[in-house]
Amino acid sequence: MEYIVINGQNPLKGSISISGAKNAAVAILPAAIASGGVCVIDNLPQIEDVCNLVAAMESMGAKCKFENPDTLVVDTSKITGHTLDDKLAKNTRASYYFMGALLGRFKYADVPLPGGCDLGSRPIDYHLKGFAALGATCIQEHGVVKLRAEKLRGANIYLDCPSVGATINIMIAAVFAEGTTTIENAAKEPHIVDTANFLNKIGAKIGGAGTGTIRIVGVPALGGGEYTVIPDPIETGTYMIAAAITGGDVTVENIIPKHMDSLTAKLREMGCTISEGGDWIRVQGASALRPCEVKTAYYPGFPTDLQPQMATLLCRAQGTSTITENIFEHRYRYIGELKRLGAQLKVEGRMAVTKGFCEFTGARVIASDLRAGAALVIAGLCAKGQTVIGGVSHLDRGYERFEEKFRSLGADITRIQRDS
Ligand code: EPU
For the Cβ of 170 lying below 6 angstroms from any atom of ligand 1, the answer is no
Cα–Cα distance measured from residue 400 to residue 11, given in angstroms and rounded to the nearest whole number: 21
- Choose which residue among 122, 191, 326, 400 to substitute to test ligand 1 binding: the one with the highest number of ligand atoms within 8 A of its C-beta: 122
Q: Where are the alpha helices (DSSP H) in 270-367?
A: 307-314, 335-340
Ligand 1 neighbour 92 (Cβ under 6 A): no
Radius of gyration in angstroms for the set of CA atoms belonging to the chain, rounded to a whole number: 21
Q: Is residue 165 in contact with ligand 1, taking CB distance under 6 Å?
A: yes
Contacts of 87 (CB under 8 A, 6+ apart): none
> In this structure, which amino acid lies at residue 382?
C
Give catalytic residue positions. Answer: 117
Distance 284 CA to ligand 1 centre (A): 32
What span, in angstroms and rounded, lies between the C-alpha atoms of 412 and 7?
A: 5
Nearest ligand 1 atom, CA 161: 14
Contact 93, 166 (CB under 8 A): no
3-state class (DSSP) for residue 57: helix
Q: Cβ contacts of residue 121 below 8 Å, gap of 6+? A: 329
Beta-carbon-side half-sphere exposure of residue 15 (alpha carbons within 13 Å): 9
- Expressed in angstroms and rounded, the spacing between residue 332 Cα and the centre of ligand 1 is 15
pLDDT 10s digits, 372-395: 999 999 999 999 999 999 999 999
pLDDT tens-digit map of 25-55: 999 999 999 999 999 999 999 999 999 999 9
Ligand 1 in contact with 370 (CB < 6 A)?
yes
pLDDT value of residue 80:
87
Per-residue pLDDT of the chain (420 residues; tens, 9 = 90+): 999 999 999 999 999 999 999 999 999 999 999 999 999 999 999 999 999 999 999 999 999 999 999 999 999 999 988 888 888 888 888 999 999 999 999 999 999 988 766 766 788 999 999 999 999 999 999 989 999 999 999 999 999 999 999 999 999 999 999 999 999 999 999 999 999 999 999 999 999 999 999 999 999 999 999 999 999 999 999 999 999 999 999 999 999 999 999 999 999 999 999 999 999 999 999 999 999 999 999 999 999 999 999 999 999 999 999 999 999 988 999 999 999 999 999 999 999 999 999 999 999 999 999 999 999 999 999 999 999 999 999 999 999 999 999 999 999 999 999 876
Strand order in the sheet with 156-158: 156-158, 180-184, 213-217, 205-207
Q: State the closest ligand 1 atom to the C-alpha of 94, by its place in the atom list counted from 1.
A: 32
Say if CB 352 and CB 335 are below 8 A apart: yes
Ligand 1 atom closest to Cα of residue 371: 42
pTM, two decimals, is 0.97
Give the three-state DSSP class for 81: coil
- Around 278, how many Cα atoms within 13 Å sit in the side-chain half-sphere? 0
Contact criterion met (CB below 8 Å) for 303 and 296: yes
Proportion of the chain above pLDDT 90, given as a percent: 92
